[in-house]
Amino acid sequence: MRMLALLLALGATVAMADQLPAPAGAEVYLIAPKNGATVKSPVTVVFGLKNAGIAPAGIKFDNTGHHHLLVDADLPADLTQPLPANEHVRHFGKGQTETTLDLPPGKHTLQLVFADLAHVPFTPNVASKKITITVQP
């Protein structure tokens, strides 16, 4: 049992060691839509970034990363692992800085997360404020 605990602790240390430091002063934010906006689908979402650059996934350049958009989701509990790719976590690994979403009518939340070449969030985490929008029928 002790050996298992030791191996798990070592594995956690290795996973955390792989997490890259955030570019100094990096910030991500949503340019559009604005928090509280009422919009029609499809929704154009424009990403903002300060004090860092954009590079495609898999490409290592200092002080760069790429965007991930959380749609109707909270930040994952474990930010030391690559972000999953699914309908709630959209990857923009080609270096995109905007997207168009087809969202059903109703309230939705959006949040940006900036991650490294391997889709792992930086440490400290670089994420926007979560916003809420309403999509009209």
Enumerate the domain spans of the chain: 2-136
- Per-residue pLDDT 10s for the chain (137 aa) are 444 343 333 344 334 448 999 999 999 999 999 999 999 999 999 999 999 999 999 999 999 999 999 999 999 999 999 999 999 999 999 999 999 999 999 999 999 999 999 999 999 999 999 999 999 99
Entry pTM:
0.86
Overall CATH class of domain 2-136: mainly beta
pLDDT of residue 16: 43
pLDDT of residue 33: 98
Collapse the DSSP code of 114 into the 3-class scheme (helix H, G, I; strand E, B; otherwise coil) and give the result: strand
Strand 53-54 vs strand 64-71: parallel, antiparallel, or unpaired?
Answer: parallel
C-alpha dihedral, 93 to 98 to 103 to 105, nearest 10°: 150
Handedness of CA 34, 110, 126, 77 (dihedral sign): positive
pLDDT of residue 18: 82
Could you give the CA distance from residue 90 to residue 56 in angstroms, rounded to a whole number?
Answer: 14
